[in-house]
């Protein structure tokens, strides 16, 4: 029997750092260990303090090593932040003379042509995600290899990030004693964990509501069509509550998780939560409907920003799979309903799929990214044989063309 491949993932989030180890088995991923600690030195998805972030990563890695009994020397690492931007690009090449059909090399050359867009020197390409091929004017070709033709075009979605922001993530990971196997846009990893190939084929919007940002990936006709970052996340809801209730952030967070709701009228008029506002000596009863009065406008603002991005991506009819909301912020009660109202698309909250083993720790929506990173690693042949003890230095992040699952099928 062949031994399963082993994969390691690291999600460096704004609120939490999560490290996971899993074996890829025929039935899916068997999680061997997970480590999670509160994040430090990360703001709105980007590293702002290398030393503190590295400490947090090292702690999460230690925890995952202890739980799994496996030494972790490298990981597939998620990347995010306001510095990430995306654009569509087209690459055109002549099919190599002497061959009457498109071959691997032609596809690679077409993708290289698409990635040769002008990227400012302070930025670098993180992903080149092919969307469709056109052969001799015939659009909508999924699998170009083997097709007869002379002229091959590819439409690709190109994701770029700021060099410095990417380097800072690499520095954090190195400082914590790990190599970077690969870098993956966090929301693409989340999508990998929460939606099916079938939904991607039909058209679906994935929203990862994190602490500081909400990241969006829109899919249609089997490939990615749009990505973007909304600079509002669950922590904004907490901050609004802290102001509105005149309490500290910690109390506001607890109140939000236990009693928060976006929709006032779904709550009984007499339901209350007891807390002691700043400047008060005694606890007071606050109607839960008042919490919803504070949370509701922020939820509607987030939902309308999501709606604007969906509109930018294409007509609603393109997304019969609706909106799939994940990330810790997806746990805010009533949020899916608000998104549904604002976007006119069905919306649901989703947690990562297809796990076995010690997965209690990573069952919820806030772990979609780390699970997706494991799956990405498993698919990209980044997994190593468990017997290997010393990891070799990786090629560094984001080198070469990143083949998404929506593309890899072609090879
Ligand atoms: N039960 C809950 N109800 C409401 N909100 C919650 C709940 N649990 C977590 N959250 C919110 O989810 C957010 C954190 O989500 P998540 O863990 O996905 O963030 P992150 O990955 O660290 O951040 P980011 O992806 O923005 O870098 C916080 O704002 C937190 O308040
Ligand atoms: Mg996250």
Q: Tell me what pLDDT residue 411 has.
A: 28
Last residue of a domain, one of 314, 349, 384: 349
| Mutation test residue for ligand 1: of 37, 45, 237, 328, the one with most atoms within 8 Å of CB | 328
Last residue of a domain, one of 106, 136, 160: 160
User: Are 136 and 249 part of one and the same domain?
Assistant: no
- pTM for this prediction: 0.90
User: Are 208 and 280 part of one and the same domain?
Assistant: yes
Residue at 266 is within a domain = yes
User: Are 229 and 321 part of one and the same domain?
Assistant: yes
Bridge partners of 217, per DSSP, are 206, 227
Q: Write the pLDDT tens digit of every residue in 155-191.
A: 999 999 999 999 999 999 999 999 999 999 999 999 9
Residue at 26 is within a domain = no
Residue at 64 is within a domain = no
Q: Which domain holds residue 147?
A: 86-160
Q: Which residues line ligand 1 (CB under 6 A)?
A: 13-16, 39, 45, 80, 210-213, 233-235, 238, 253, 256-257, 260, 327-329, 331-332, 366
| 282: helix, strand or coil | coil
> What CATH number does residue 95 fall under?
3.30.1490.110
- Give the chain's largest Cα–Cα span: 86
Q: Tell me what pLDDT residue 382 has.
A: 56
User: Are 140 and 200 part of one and the same domain?
Assistant: no
Residue at 286 is within a domain = yes
Closest CA to 9 of 383, 365, 337: 383
Closest CA to 113 of 94, 93, 131, 130: 93
Atom of ligand 1 nearest to the CA of 332: 4
User: Are 105 and 224 part of one and the same domain?
Assistant: no
Instruction: Name, in order, each residue with C-beta under 8 angstroms of 395's C-beta and a sequence gap of 6 or more.
Output: none
Residue at 246 is within a domain = yes
d(CA 371, CA 226): 22
- CA–CA–CA angle 377, 319, 325 (5° rounding): 55
Last residue of a domain, one of 113, 142, 160: 160
State in Å: Cα 378 to ligand 1 middle.
26
User: Are 237 and 155 part of one and the same domain?
Assistant: no
The C-alpha R_g of the chain, in whole angstroms, comes to 22
| Mutation test residue for ligand 1: of 9, 14, 15, 361, the one with most atoms within 8 Å of CB | 15
Q: Write the pLDDT tens digit of every residue in 308-333.
A: 999 999 999 999 999 999 999 999 99
Cα distances from 169 to residues 35, 133, 173, 184, 186, in angstroms, run 18, 33, 6, 12, 13
| 267: helix, strand or coil | coil
User: Are 155 and 209 part of one and the same domain?
Assistant: no
State in Å: Cα 16 to ligand 1 middle.
8
d(CA 19, CA 303): 30
Atom of ligand 1 nearest to the CA of 45: 27
> What CATH number does residue 226 fall under?
3.30.420.40
Q: Tell me what pLDDT residue 96 has.
A: 86
Q: Dihedrals φ, ψ of 10, to 5°?
A: -135, 120
Residue at 75 is within a domain = no
Residue nearest to atom 1 of ligand 1 (CA): 257
Residue at 116 is within a domain = yes
State in Å: Cα 123 to ligand 2 middle.
22
Residue nearest to atom 15 of ligand 1 (CA): 328
Q: Tell me what pLDDT residue 200 has.
A: 93
User: Are 145 and 229 part of one and the same domain?
Assistant: no
Q: How many domains does the chain have?
A: 2
Residue at 61 is within a domain = no
Residue nearest to atom 31 of ligand 1 (CA): 234
User: Are 117 and 205 part of one and the same domain?
Assistant: no
β-pairing, 28-38 with 16-25? antiparallel
Strand arrangement, sheet containing 323-326: 223-230, 214-220, 204-209, 323-326, 347-349
User: Are 154 and 206 part of one and the same domain?
Assistant: no
Long-range contacts of 143-148 (CB under 8 A, 24+ apart): 143/409, 143/410, 144/102, 144/106, 144/107, 144/110, 144/410, 145/101, 145/102, 145/103, 145/104, 145/107, 145/410, 145/411, 146/101, 146/102, 147/101, 147/102, 148/100, 148/101, 148/102
State in Å: Cα 208 to ligand 2 middle.
7
**Residues in the chain where the model's pLDDT stays below 50:** 385-411
Closest CA to 332 of 248, 273, 257, 242: 257
User: Are 288 and 214 part of one and the same domain?
Assistant: yes
State in Å: Cα 212 to ligand 1 middle.
8
User: Are 340 and 209 part of one and the same domain?
Assistant: yes
Residue nearest to atom 25 of ligand 1 (CA): 210
């Amino acid at each position: 029997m062949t031994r399963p491949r082993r994969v390691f993932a690291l999600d460096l989030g704004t609120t939490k750092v999560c490290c996971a180890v899993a074996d890829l088995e025929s039935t899916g991923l068997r999680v061997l260990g997970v480590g999670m600690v509160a994040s430090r030195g990360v703001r709105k998805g980007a590293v702002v303090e290398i030393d503190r972030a590295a400490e947090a990563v090292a702690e999460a890695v230690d925890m995952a090593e202890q739980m799994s009994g496996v030494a972790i020397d490298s990981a597939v690492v998620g990347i995010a932040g306001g510095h990430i931007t995306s654009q569509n690009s087209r690459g055109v090449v002549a099919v190599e003379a002497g061959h009457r059909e498109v071959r691997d090399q032609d596809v690679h050359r077409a993708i290289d042509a698409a990635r040769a867009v002008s990227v400012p020197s302070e930025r670098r390409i993180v992903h080149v995600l092919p969307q469709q091929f056109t052969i001799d004017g015939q659009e909508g070709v999924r699998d170009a290899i083997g097709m007869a033709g002379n002229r091959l075009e590819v439409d690709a979605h190109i994701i770029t990030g700021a060099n410095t922001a990417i380097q800072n993530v690499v520095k954090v990971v190195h400082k914590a004693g790990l190599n970077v196997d690969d870098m993956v846009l966090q929301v693409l990893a989340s999508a990998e964990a929460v939606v099916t190939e079938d939904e991607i084929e039909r058209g679906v919007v994935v929203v990862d509501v994190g602490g500081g940002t909400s990241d969006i990936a829109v899919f249609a006709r089997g490939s990615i069509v749009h990505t973007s970052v909304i600079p509002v996340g669950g922590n904004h809801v907490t901050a609004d509550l802290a102001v509105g209730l005149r309490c500290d952030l910690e109390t506001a967070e607890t109140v939000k998780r236990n009693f928060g709701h976006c929709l006032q009228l779904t709550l009984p008029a007499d339901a209350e939560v007891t807390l002691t506002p700043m400047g008060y000596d005694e606890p007071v009863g606050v109607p839960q409907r008042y919490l919803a009065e504070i949370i509701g406008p922020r939820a509607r603002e987030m939902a309308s920003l999501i709606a604007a991005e969906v509109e930018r991506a294409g007509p609603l009819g393109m997304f019969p799979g609706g909106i799939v909301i994940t990330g810790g912020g997806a746990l805010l009660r009533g949020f899916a309903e608000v998104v549904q109202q604002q976007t006119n698309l069905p919306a649901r909250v989703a947690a990562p799929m297809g796990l076995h083993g010690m997965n209690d720790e990573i069952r919820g929506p806030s772990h979609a990214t780390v699970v997706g990173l494991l799956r990405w690693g498993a698919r990209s042949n980044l997994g190593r044989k468990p017997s290997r003890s010393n990891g070799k230095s990786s090629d560094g992040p984001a080198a070469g063309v990143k083949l998404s699952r929506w593309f890899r099928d072609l090879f």
